Chains A and B, each alone.
Chain A
Amino acid sequence: MNIKQNIKTLIVEKPLKLDCGQTINNFPLAYETYGSLNNEKDNAILVFHALTGDQFVTGINPVTKKDGWWSYAVGSGKSIDTDKYFVICANVIGGCMGSFGPSHENPKTKKIYGTNFPVITINDMVNAQINLLDFFGIKKLFSVVGGSMGGMQVLQFISNYPDKAKTAIPIACTSSHSAQNIAFNELGRQAIAADHNWSDGDYNSKNVVPDKGLAVARMAAHITYLSKKGLQEKFGRKLQERDDLKFGFDADFQIESYLRYQGSVFVDRFDANSYLYITRAMDYFDLVKQFNGNLSNAFKNTKAKFFIISFTSDWLYPTQENKEIVIALNAVGANVGFVEIESDKGHDSFLLNVPDFLKALKNFLDKSYAEKHS
Chain B
Amino acid sequence: MKPEYKIISDLIEKDAKVLDVGCDDGTLMEFLKTNKNANIRGIEISKEKVQTCIAKGLTVIEGNAEFDLKQFPNDSFEYVVLGQTLQAFINPETVIKELLRVGNKAIVTIPNFGHWKVRLNLLFKGTMPITNSLPHDWYNTPNIHMCTIKDFVRFSKIINFKIFKSLALINENVSDINNSNLIFKNLFGELGIFLIEK
Q: Which residue of B lies closest to A337 (CB)?
A: B59
B62 within 8 A of A: yes
Report A332-374 residues with CB < 8 Å from chain B CB: 333, 335-342, 356, 359-360, 363-364, 367-368, 370-371
Q: Which of A48-56, A95-103, A323-331 contacts B (4 or more CB under 8 A)?
A: A323-331
User: Chain A residues near B61 (CB, 8 Å)?
Assistant: 326, 330, 336-338
- Chain A interface bracket (under 10, 10 to 19, 20 to 34, 35 or more): 20 to 34
Report B54-101 residues with CB < 8 Å from chain A CB: 54-63, 71-73, 76
Q: A333, B76: Cβ atoms under 8 Å?
A: yes
User: Chain A residues near B71 (CB, 8 Å)?
Assistant: 326-327, 330-331
Query: Of B57, B60, B73, which contacts A331 at CB under 8 A?
Result: B73
Q: A367, B54: Cβ atoms under 8 Å?
A: yes
Query: Of B47, B54, B73, which contacts A337 at CB under 8 A?
Result: B54
User: Chain B residues near A337 (CB, 8 Å)?
Assistant: 54, 58-61
Question: How far does the Cβ of A268 sit from chain B's closest Cβ, in whole Å?
Answer: 39
User: Chain A residues near B55 (CB, 8 Å)?
Assistant: 359, 363, 367
A8 within 8 A of B: no
B50 within 8 A of A: yes
User: Given contacts A363-B55, A371-B57, is CB(A339)–CB(B47) below 8 Å?
Assistant: yes
User: Chain B residues near A342 (CB, 8 Å)?
Assistant: 47
Q: B62, A363: Cβ atoms under 8 Å?
A: no
Q: B51, A339: Cβ atoms under 8 Å?
A: yes
Total A-B pairs, Cβ < 8 A? 56
User: Chain A residues near B57 (CB, 8 Å)?
Assistant: 363, 367-368, 370-371
Question: How far does the Cβ of A47 sit from chain B's closest Cβ, in whole Å?
Answer: 20
User: Chain A residues near B60 (CB, 8 Å)?
Assistant: 337-339
User: Chain A residues near B51 (CB, 8 Å)?
Assistant: 339, 356, 359-360, 363
User: Chain B residues near A371 (CB, 8 Å)?
Assistant: 57
A278 to B98: give the CA distance in the assembly, Å: 43
- Chain B interface bracket (under 10, 10 to 19, 20 to 34, 35 or more): 10 to 19
Q: A364, B47: Cβ atoms under 8 Å?
A: no
Q: A336, B62: Cβ atoms under 8 Å?
A: no
Q: B54, A364: Cβ atoms under 8 Å?
A: yes
Q: Which residue of B lies closest to A367 (CB)?
A: B57
A260 within 8 A of B: no
Question: How far does the Cβ of B171 sit from chain A's closest Cβ, in whole Å?
Answer: 37
User: Chain B residues near A340 (CB, 8 Å)?
Assistant: 47, 62
A324 to B71: give the CA distance in the assembly, Å: 9
Q: A335, B59: Cβ atoms under 8 Å?
A: yes
User: Chain A residues near B63 (CB, 8 Å)?
Assistant: 338
Question: How far does the Cβ of A3 sit from chain B's closest Cβ, in whole Å?
Answer: 40
Q: B62, A339: Cβ atoms under 8 Å?
A: yes
Choose among B51, B58, B61, B76 the residue with the greatest number of A CB atoms under 10 Å from its CB.
B61
Report A301-331 residues with CB < 8 Å from chain B CB: 305, 307, 326-327, 330-331
User: Chain A residues near B41 (CB, 8 Å)?
Assistant: 335
Q: Which residue of B lies closest to A368 (CB)?
A: B57
User: Given contacts A337-B61, A339-B47, is CB(A360)–CB(B54) below 8 Å?
Assistant: yes
User: Chain B residues near A338 (CB, 8 Å)?
Assistant: 60-63
Q: A305, B47: Cβ atoms under 8 Å?
A: no
Q: Which residue of A lies closest to B48 (CB)?
A: A356
User: Chain A residues near B47 (CB, 8 Å)?
Assistant: 339-342, 356
Q: B72, A330: Cβ atoms under 8 Å?
A: yes
Q: Which residue of B lies closest to A371 (CB)?
A: B57
A23 to B61: give the CA distance in the assembly, Å: 41
A234 to B55: give the CA distance in the assembly, Å: 32
A371 to B58: give the CA distance in the assembly, Å: 11
User: Chain A residues near B59 (CB, 8 Å)?
Assistant: 305, 335-337
Question: How far does the Cβ of B45 sit from chain A's closest Cβ, in whole Å?
Answer: 11
Q: Which residue of A lies closest to B71 (CB)?
A: A327
Report 27 cross-chain contacts, Cβ distance below 8 Å, ordered by A residue: A305-B59, A326-B61, A330-B72, A330-B73, A330-B76, A331-B72, A333-B76, A335-B41, A336-B59, A336-B61, A337-B58, A337-B59, A337-B60, A338-B60, A338-B62, A338-B63, A339-B47, A339-B60, A356-B47, A359-B51, A359-B55, A360-B51, A360-B54, A364-B54, A367-B56, A367-B57, A370-B57
In the complex, the 7 A-B pairs of residues with the closest C-beta atoms, listed nearest first: A367-B57, A327-B71, A363-B55, A338-B61, A337-B59, A363-B54, A330-B71
B-to-A contact residues, CB < 8 Å = 41, 47, 50-51, 54-63, 71-73, 76
Given contact pairs A339-B51, A364-B54, A367-B57, a sample of 9 additional A-B residue pairs in the complex whose CB atoms are under 8 Å apart: A305-B59, A326-B71, A330-B71, A333-B76, A335-B41, A337-B58, A339-B54, A356-B51, A360-B51
